[in-house]
Amino acid sequence: MNPSQATHRSAASNADASTIYRTRRDPDASATVSVIRAVAEVEDVTPGDLPVLGDVIDPEALDGVFEDGQRVGRSNARLSFDYCGYTVTVTEDVVTLDIR
């Protein structure tokens, strides 16, 4: 991930002290892949080292919220869930990790 795509934030340096990472979603990647990549980046591990995402959220349902054919009427969709000690928020364009 290049620096123009991701922003690391320290709690002391911004008004929203709980946000520690925010990245633009790759338009060619699913929401599930975007979440796994973001958490792996913050945790400094490979995606395979992370716990199974399916233990906390249905990956097919997550992807379905943001798929092109499923977005009609959902242009402002936002989905949040807890994973790996973070509150993960996914929108059509961004993945944000907040400290729980």
Q: Which amino acid is at 42?
A: V
Distance CA(56)–CA(87), nearest Å, equals: 12
Average of pLDDT values for 41-49? 97
pLDDT at 83: 97
Domain ranges of the chain: 6-99
Split at pLDDT 50, 70, 90, the class of 82 is: very high
List b or e across 69-87, with b for residues whose CB sees 16 or more CB atoms inside 10 angstroms. eeeeeeeeeeeeeebbebe
Distance CA(97)–CA(3), nearest Å, equals: 16
- The structure tokens listed for 6 are 């991701």
pLDDT above 90: residue 55: yes
Q: Average per-residue pLDDT in the chain?
A: 83
Split at pLDDT 50, 70, 90, the class of 4 is: very low
Split at pLDDT 50, 70, 90, the class of 3 is: very low
